[in-house]
Amino acid sequence: MFEAAEVGHRVSKSEYRKQEPILREALLEAQYRVLADAGFPVVILIGGVDGAGKGETVNLLNEWMDPRHILTRAFGAPTDEEAQRPPMWRFWRALPPKGRIGVLFGSWYTQPILDRVMGHSRASELQTQVDEIRHFERMLVAEGALVLKYWFHLSKPAQQQRLTALSEDPATRWRVTPTDWDHFKHYDRFRKVSEQVLRETSTGEAPWVIVEGADPNYRALTVGNHLLQALSDRLQNPPVRCVPSPAAPAIALDERNVLNALDYHQALAKKEYRRQLEKYQGRLNLLTRAKGFRERSLIIVFEGSDAAGKGSSIRRITGALDARHYQVIPIAAPTEEERAQPYLWRFWRHLPLKGRVTIFDRSWYGRVLVERVEGYCSEADWMRAYHEINAFEEQLVDNGAVVVKFWLAITAEEQLKRFNERRDTPFKNFKITEDDWRNRDKWSDYEHAVCDMVERCGTSIAPWHLIPANDKPYARIQILKTLCKALEKAE
């Protein structure tokens, strides 16, 4: 795979001086067109062997274009804060918004390759990471991103020569570290593992461009011209949206489903409710203060029908927790900042540290619920969201999070009763809107969407808990019981 990048590509100084000003002008113009269009982000990944000119090329791109609209991030070993979240957390936070160019120097490829070369991971673990990377990049492209990947290569003799030259020059010796020489000792292993990873992740959506890094003039013009062509092509030819396979049938033949099969008559008397509330709040408090919880986090997802009691249930949970160790994230319509990023970005940014609790009052499931039913996204978007959500939750659990998801279900008759109460009670008026009344007309559509969501995203690692909530006290106790059981199981 690297043979074409070891033939000694070179560009003369005179040819470079001739092409550089023309290329710089064209790149700057293309960058401003991307900024004005603001329809897609550009994600540039820079990888490759040590000494192949990665840093010089990144500096050159910032010099040739307007650096105010380029977000450049260099990633080393994870910080203490980053190490407490899933590995992809820090990369999600670094994604550029629409209209901007993001240059990621050392990306989601670095650690998987390094771990495998140094014997810190097995072949099966690397394969799993490669699969996750492909899915992630496919999601970025489906969300509209232009993903460009440049791998800077040197042959083994060329890398040794390059590192030696940099080490012997007083002006550049600081750039060569003992780690670089240690990596050089493993050159053959790095080449083998890197070739495997590049081969399996050079996809139609996001192919790799391998650049020979020995000659600075050649690598600069190669990357610059490829970037210019990619930007120009994307501006002239927006991507064609894929058409998904048809969704599942709308209604089962006997009209039976997971929601109408619930027992909505279950209830708790006041005295029993108070007794159990004290019991399970105390139990939850102890579980979140236990030593073992310091290596975990708790992520609670609340979804449900309008007026199903999500807010009051959340208050019974927070009443059992240390206010310093939890946060409640209410999810409404996305802001302009959030619309400029991939859909899951606004949820990744709120993931808790270990030993903390985050409660989502509505969540990432909005894409397969309200956005699906109301037509705020295309069928292609919500159909692929099931897999993306499952992959997201798998990463959370792999990092030690306990993910507990609740759907609070009420009957249409109970909802109407609560709507009227909110309308007729002055201090509850703010809870009822025209959208709430309008959504009642789509009750069956929402019911179908919920059933699809439960079927497609109710996994063994993050199952859905369907809570019949016609009786609020009963629902609150069931929620607290479920949380306690989930934490105890995770110990």
Read off the pLDDT of residues 404-423 as tens digits, 9 standing for 90 and up: 999 999 999 999 999 999 88
Q: Is 177 in the same domain as 61?
A: yes
Q: Is 377 in the same domain as 307?
A: yes
Question: Where does the pLDDT of residue 242 fall: very low under 50, low under 70, confident under 90, or very high at 90 and above?
Answer: low
Of 236, 252, 287, which marks where a domain is finished? Answer: 236
Residue 375 counted as domain residue: yes
The answer, yes or no, to whether residue 265 has pLDDT greater than 60, is yes
Residue 394 counted as domain residue: yes
Mean pLDDT value across residues 9-22: 97
Residue 253 counted as domain residue: no
Q: Is 89 in the same domain as 12?
A: yes
Mean pLDDT value across residues 230-259: 77
Residue 343 counted as domain residue: yes
CA distance 365 to 169: 56
In this predicted structure, what is the pLDDT of residue 378?
93
Q: Is 321 in the same domain as 205?
A: no
Question: Where does the pLDDT of residue 83 fall: very low under 50, low under 70, confident under 90, or very high at 90 and above?
Answer: very high
Rg (CA), the chain: 27
Strand partners, 466: 407
Question: Where does the pLDDT of residue 247 fall: very low under 50, low under 70, confident under 90, or very high at 90 and above?
Answer: low
Alpha helices in 319-378 (DSSP H): 336-339, 345-348, 370-374
Of the candidates 197, 91, 83, the one whose C-alpha atom is nearest the C-alpha of residue 134 is 197
Q: Is 280 in the same domain as 334?
A: yes
Mean pLDDT value across residues 256-281: 96
Question: Where does the pLDDT of residue 339 fall: very low under 50, low under 70, confident under 90, or very high at 90 and above?
Answer: very high
In this predicted structure, what is the pLDDT of residue 214?
93
In this predicted structure, what is the pLDDT of residue 311?
96
Q: Is 207 in the same domain as 318?
A: no
Of 236, 261, 280, which marks where a domain is finished? Answer: 236
Tell me which DSSP letter residue 322 carries: -
Residue 51 phi/psi, 5° resolution? 85, 5
| Structural domain count, the chain | 2
Of 189, 213, 236, which marks where a domain is finished? Answer: 236
Q: Is 402 in the same domain as 444?
A: yes
Total residues belonging to the chain: 491
Residue ranges making up the domain that contains 430 = 270-490
Q: Is 230 in the same domain as 287?
A: no
Q: Is 141 in the same domain as 219?
A: yes
Contacts of 242 (CB under 8 A, 6+ apart): 142, 380
166, 55 contact by CB (below 8 A) = no
Mean pLDDT of the chain: 94
Of 443 and 249, the one with more pLDDT: 443
Of the candidates 394, 401, 330, the one whose C-alpha atom is nearest the C-alpha of residue 366 is 330
In this predicted structure, what is the pLDDT of residue 435?
79
386: domain CATH number is 3.40.50.300
Q: Is 54 in the same domain as 129?
A: yes
Report how far apart, in Å, the C-alpha atoms of 186 and of each of 105, 125, 182, 433 are.
Answer: 21, 20, 7, 64
In this predicted structure, what is the pLDDT of residue 179?
84
The predicted-structure confidence for 105-126, as pLDDT tens digits, reads as follows 989 999 999 999 999 999 999 9
Question: Where does the pLDDT of residue 99 fall: very low under 50, low under 70, confident under 90, or very high at 90 and above?
Answer: very high
Q: Is 323 in the same domain as 388?
A: yes
Residue 260 counted as domain residue: no
Question: Where does the pLDDT of residue 221 fall: very low under 50, low under 70, confident under 90, or very high at 90 and above?
Answer: very high
In this prediction the pTM is 0.91
In this predicted structure, what is the pLDDT of residue 432?
82
Q: Is 182 in the same domain as 302?
A: no
The predicted-structure confidence for 165-200, as pLDDT tens digits, reads as follows 888 888 888 888 888 888 889 999 999 999 999 999
End-to-end Cα, the chain, rounded Å: 46
The answer, yes or no, to whether residue 249 has pLDDT greater than 60, is no
CA distance 28 to 227: 11
